[in-house]
Amino acid sequence: MSDAAQLVAISPLQSLKSPYLPSNRVVFSSCGSSRFVSDLCDTLKRQGNVDGGRVKAITNSSQQGSIQGLDTSSPVSIELKPILNETQFDRMIAEAEQLDESVVILWMAKWCRKCIYLKPKLEKLAADYHPRVKFYCIDVNNVPYKLVVHAGVTKMPTIQLWKDSKKHGEVIGGHKAYLVVSEVRDMIEGEDES
C-alpha cells in the first residue's frame, strides 16, 4: 500500500490525542470493512471535513456506538424516483427545464442483473448531487415502448442526462459499476462546466 493511501487501524478503546491526522492517512475503527472506509472518505469529502490539506480526525465512541463528528443530516443515498408513464416523464422534463436543472435517468429492467446492481450505486451518487441534480429511474417494461424509443434507449442499463428538454449525455452501463458511476459523474460535471 502506498504512503498516499495508508490506513491506520484504531481500536474503539483507543483515543486520538491530536485533532488532525496527516492528509495521507485514513482512520477506521475496528469495524474495519473497506466499504466503511470508502463511505467515510466520501462523506468527509462531501462535508468538507478537511482543514488546510489535513483530514480532521474522527473517533468512534464505543459507549454511544456511533461515529462522532459526521453530519448525519445529509443523506448517504437517495432513492431514485420512479417514472411510470409518458405523462410523468413529460412533466418531470418540463419542471426541470423551468427550474434550469439537470436530470439523470436510469433506464432499467427488473430482470437485468447489471441494472439491479447499479441502482444502489446511483442512489449514493444522487446524494452527492442533491438537490441540484434530480435522479429518476424508468423500468422499460412498465412504460409504453414509444417512450423508450423517444429516449433512444437500446440497451440496459442506460443512464441519460437531460437538460432543457434535450438529452445531453448517455452512458451505457455494460461494464463494472464503479466505472459506470465514474462516467456518470464525469457526464454531470461536464454538463456543469458547459
Segments making up each domain of the chain, as ranges? 3-67, 81-193
Cross-strand bridge partners of residue 8: 27
Cα 28-189-116 angle, rounded to 5 deg = 65
Active site residues: 112, 115
What cell numbers appear for 156 in the block? 440496459
81-193: CATH class: alpha beta
Region 35-60: mean pLDDT is 56
Helix (H, G, I), strand (E, B) or coil at 171: strand
Region 125-153: mean pLDDT is 96
Instruction: Quickly list DSSP for 82-127.
Output: E--SHHHHHHHHHHHHHTT-EEEEEEE-TT-HHHHHHHHHHHHHHH
| Confidence at 30, pLDDT banded by 50, 70, 90 | very low
pLDDT value at 85 more than 80 = yes
pLDDT value at 56 more than 70 = no
